[in-house]
């Protein structure tokens, strides 16, 4: 009889785990490996995708920076890592129409315990925890599919970033608890010194401005993929410019050839000759990508009003 009780408990525990990972949510999470083999304690990228699998528009929030903080692994040997530095961190609302996706890479590392074999296969899922955004209802954790990475345990810990706390760094303020081990080497963004007035720049959150990208056409003269990025004022009021479009999560190996400059490691473009946008009004900016490996070009456009100077 005791054997049957133990067996029943195991079955119930299994069903409980299935309920955790197979929640009936309109938003679905998917992860993919960028590399299939890594070293122990080495940071590597995992592609994360949040998809609206419902027939209705869905909204959720993400963090302005340190997006990896919103993902947690179900394997204790796997840790997500934030290696971004930003002047401020806040929740940003993302709205997806049916079938649309929000895609971004996050840094992950595997820390194998001492005494493990030279090569170990590690399987894990990632769960997405959306931050609270204003009066929006809290979204339950969304768990992804499982992936397996081959880890070489040779004692090399290069690339590992150690976090003192779960708080993001706040550049220029002297606060924040994450040790930054990698920051883009080609950025002109420098934190303001203490006492200096804040930069007049505002991220235009979802619902105010929408973006659309044209088909990219290969230019044989300068070997770039060229297209047009359109921004549109979908709010009910006038939005003052100038307008900057930051290309977040641009495909590895792809360069924005005609970028105006960079902001905290991300290239951006200034929309030319536009001082303001009336409700329903659009503006365009040309994009030129250098893509020597002919990879699929992906990015997340983030529109700002104001100037980074």
CB 209 within 8 A of CB 190: no
The pLDDT, as a whole number, for residue 271 is: 95
Fold of the domain spanning 201-306? Immunoglobulin-like (2.60.40)
- What is the chain written as a DSSP string? -HHHHHHHHHHHHHHHHHHHHT---SEEEEEEES-SEEETT--EEEEEEEEE-SSS-EEEEEESS-GGGGEEESSTTEEEE----BS---EEEEEE-TT-EEEEEEEEEE-PPTT--SEEEEEE-EEE-PPP-TTPPPPPPEE---EEEEEE-SS--TT---BSSSSPPBTTTTB--BPP----SS----PPPTTSPPP-EEE--TTTEEEEEPPPEEETTTTEEEEEEEEEE-SSS-EES-EEEEEETPPTT-EETT-SEEETTEEEEEPTT-SEE-TT-EEEEEEEEE-TT-PPP--EEEEEEE---
What b/e string do you get for 143-171 counting C-beta neighbours within 10 Å, with b at 16 or more?
Answer: bbeebebebbbeeeeebbbebeeeebbbb
Residue 68 CB: number of other CB atoms within 10 A?
22
Q: How many residues does the chain have?
A: 309
For the chain, domain boundaries: 25-152, 201-306
Give the CATH number of domain 25-152.
Answer: 2.60.40.10
Task: Encode the chain (309 residues) as per-residue pLDDT tens digits.
Answer: 444 443 444 334 443 344 344 456 899 999 998 888 888 888 888 989 999 999 999 888 887 677 888 899 999 889 888 755 555 567 788 889 999 999 888 889 898 877 666 788 899 999 998 887 777 778 889 999 999 998 887 644 333 333 333 333 333 333 333 333 333 433 344 444 555 455 567 888 666 888 888 888 888 888 899 999 999 998 889 999 899 998 887 888 899 999 999 876 789 999 998 999 999 999 999 999 999 988 888 888 888 898 876
d(CA 85, CA 184): 10
The pLDDT, as a whole number, for residue 115 is: 67
Evaluate whether 25-152 and 201-306 have a shared fold.
yes
The pLDDT, as a whole number, for residue 205 is: 66
The reply to whether the predicted model has a pTM over 0.75 is no
């Amino acid at each position: 009889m005791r054997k049957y009780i133990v067996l029943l408990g195991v079955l119930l525990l299994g069903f409980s785990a299935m309920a955790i990972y197979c929640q009936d949510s309109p938003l679905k999470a998917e992860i993919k490996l960028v590399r299939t083999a890594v070293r122990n304690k080495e940071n590597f990228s995992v592609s994360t995708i949040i998809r609206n699998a419902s027939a209705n528009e869905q909204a959720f929030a993400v963090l302005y920076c340190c997006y990896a903080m919103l993902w947690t692994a179900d394997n204790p040997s796997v840790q997500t890592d934030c290696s971004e530095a930003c002047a401020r961190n806040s929740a940003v609302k993302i709205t997806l129409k049916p079938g649309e996706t929000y895609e971004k890479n996050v840094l992950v590392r595997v820390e194998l315990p001492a005494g493990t074999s030279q090569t170990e296969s590690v399987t894990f899922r990632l769960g997405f925890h959306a931050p609270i955004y204003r009066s929006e209802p809290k979204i339950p954790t969304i768990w992804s599919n499982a992936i397996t990475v081959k880890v070489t345990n040779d004692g090399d810990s290069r690339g590992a970033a150690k976090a003192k706390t779960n708080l993001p760094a706040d550049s220029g303020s002297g606060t924040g608890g994450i040790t930054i081990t990698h920051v883009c080497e080609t950025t002109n963004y420098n934190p303001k010194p203490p006492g200096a007035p804040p930069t007049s720049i505002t991220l235009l959150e979802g619902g105010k401005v929408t973006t659309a990208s044209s088909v990219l056409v290969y230019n044989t003269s300068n070997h770039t993929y060229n297209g047009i990025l359109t921004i549109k004022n979908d709010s009910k009021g006038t939005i003052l410019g100038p307008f900057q479009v930051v290309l977040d999560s641009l495909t590895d190996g792809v360069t924005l050839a005609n970028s105006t400059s960079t902001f905290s490691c991300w290239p951006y473009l200034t929309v030319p000759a536009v001082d303001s946008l009336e409700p329903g009004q659009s503006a365009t900016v040309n994009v030129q990508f250098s893509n020597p490996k002919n990879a699929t070009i992906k990015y997340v456009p983030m529109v700002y009003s104001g100037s980074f100077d």
